[in-house]
Amino acid sequence: MRLLIVEDEPVIALAIEEVAIAAGFEIAGIATNTSEALELGPEADVAIIDVRLGDGLTGPSIARALFAGFGLGVAYLTANPDLVEDADGHVVITKPASAERIKEALSLAARGARKQTLQDQSGQTT
């Protein structure tokens, strides 16, 4: 399962990457803003997204676009969980988060990925 990390703080992004690799994820890329996230979206199955990035409160709109456009499972990782008004069933975890909580969130997000569902049914990734 390929993970897209959408996080503008390099230290946090690298910590997530380390946890994800240990949990068996392949890293599709690290995006720091909306355009990078949408560019990398087709390469991923799951995304973990900070709510407030350098280009503003863009995490929720990125999550909607990645889910609608590419079927990615989504987990939010944010210091401001109140900013996620409608999580659309996606996992929301609060910074700072333990490695175990991040692994759990990624696992739940993977179950919500439409790509994975389609792959399980057909044997091919769509």
For residue range 13-56, what is the model confidence (pLDDT) as tens digits? 999 999 999 999 999 999 999 999 999 999 999 999 999 998 88
What stretches of 2-113 show up as alpha helix (H) in DSSP?
A: 10-22, 34-40, 59-70, 99-111
Res 118 pLDDT > 80: no
The single residue listed with the structure tokens 């979206």 is 41
Total-model pTM: 0.86
Crossing angle (nearest 10°) for helices 10-22 and 99-111: 70
Is 29 strand, coil or helix? strand
Q: What is the spatial distance between Cα 27 and Cα 4, in angstroms, rounded to a whole number? A: 6
- CATH 3.40.50.150 holds for 2-122: no
